[in-house]
Amino acid sequence: MTEIMIAAAVVCGVGIVIGILLGVAGEKFKVEVDPKEVAVRELLPGNNCGGCGFPGCDGLAAAIAKGEMPPSACPVGGEAVAEAISKALGIENTETARYVAFVKCAGDCEKAKDVYEYVGPKSCVLAQNNPNGGPKACTYGCTGYGSCKAVCEFDAIDIIDGIAVINKDKCKACGKCIEACPRNLIELVPYDAEHLVRCNSHDRGLDVKAACSAGCIGCSLCAKNCEASAITMDKNLAHIDAEKCNNCGVCKQKCPVKIIT
C-alpha cells in the first residue's frame, strides 16, 4: 500500500511540475494578437475561399486590422459584413466594385459539334486527357462536365445544355471555379458589365465555324468600330475590357455571329 501511495505522489508531483513549466512557457512564448484582428476575424464568414487574395480569413483579418485592406475586401460577406467591420473598427466603409465569374463560351449542345461520343467520367479535368481534350470539336470551349460547379461553395454555377452558366446574384467572385477549369474559360468581370465576348477560341474563322456556330471568327469588326478602344484582338479572338467599355452597344450590333452578350 505504501508503494502505491509513493507512486501516486510521484505521478502527481511530476504532473504539477510539468503543468507549471507549461504555464511559464505559454506566458513566455505566447504570440500577442491585436484585439482588432480578433474582432474582424469573428465578423468574417469563415469560408477561407481565397477570393480576397489571402489564403484564408485569418490573413484578411490581419490586413484589415492593420489598414492594409478595406472593410469591404471580403467578397463572400458582402455589404453586411463590410458595414459590421467598419462599425467595429470605427472607420469609414470604402465600397469596392463587385465582380462575378464569367464563362467565355456559348457553345451549347445545339451550337457546338461533337467529334465522338464520350463515355468516361463526367469531369472536365479527366476529359482533357482524352483525344481532342473531350468530345466537342472546339478544343477551347466548355466541356460541360461541371468541374467548376463541383468546387463552387455558393451554388452559383449550373450546367445548362452542355455549358456552365453563372448565377450572378449568387456568385461571390471567390475564384475557385477559375482554378478548376482546365481550359481557362472563366474570368472575373464587373457585376454590371453589359458587353462581353462569349468565346475562347483562337482558331481561324473557318475552323471556328466548322466546330461551333457560336464562336468568334476573328473578323475584328467589333474592335474597329469601338470608339472607346475597349476591344483588342488576341490571336483571332476579341476581348472586351469591361473597365473601358462605355456600353454603347456598337460591338454587339456589328458582330456577325452574335456572340457579344
**Which residue's entry shows cell 469601338?**
226
Which of 48, 67, 89 corresponds to the end of one domain?
89
Do 85 and 211 reside in the same domain of the chain?
no
- Looking at the structure, tell me whether residues 117 and 232 fall in a common domain: yes
Residue 28 has pLDDT above 90, yes or no: no
The residue segments making up the domain with residue 211 are 99-254
Asked whether residue 167 falls in the same domain as residue 228, the answer is yes
Q: Does any domain span residue 152?
A: yes
User: Is 129's pLDDT higher than 60?
Assistant: yes
Same domain for 84 and 150, yes or no, is no
- pTM of the predicted protein model: 0.75
Give tens-digit pLDDT for 72-92: 888 888 888 888 888 888 887
Measured CA distances, 63 to 41, 49, 66, 90, 166 (Å): 11, 16, 5, 16, 30
In this structure, are 174 and 222 located in the same domain?
yes
Residues 212 and 156 in one domain: yes
Q: In this structure, what are the phi and psi dihedrals at residue 179, rounded to the nearest 5 degrees? A: -70, -35
Of 22, 54, 89, which marks where a domain is finished? 89
Q: Are residues 143 and 71 in the same domain?
A: no
Residue 33 pLDDT: 64
Residues 133, 168, single domain; the answer is yes
Indicate whether 163 and 209 sit together in one domain: yes
43 and 76 both lie in a single domain: yes
Looking at the fold, whether 57 and 134 belong to one and the same domain comes out as no
Q: Are residues 105 and 79 in the same domain?
A: no
Rounded Cα distance between 153 and 37, Å, is 25
What per-residue string of b and e applies to 38-53 under the rule 16 or more CB within 10 Å gives b? ebbbebbeebbbbbbe
Cell of 7: 507512486
Query: SS3 string of 210-253?
Result: HHECCCCCCCCHHHHCCCCCCEEEECCEEEECCCCCCCCCHHHH
Percent of the chain at pLDDT > 70 equals 93
User: CATH code at 85?
Assistant: 1.10.15.40
Q: Of the segments 31-40, 41-50, 56-65, 134-143, which one has the largest average pLDDT value?
A: 134-143
1 in any annotated domain: no
Instruction: For residue range 131-175, list pLDDT tens digits in order.
Output: 888 899 999 999 999 999 999 989 999 999 999 999 999 998 888
The domain total for the chain is 2
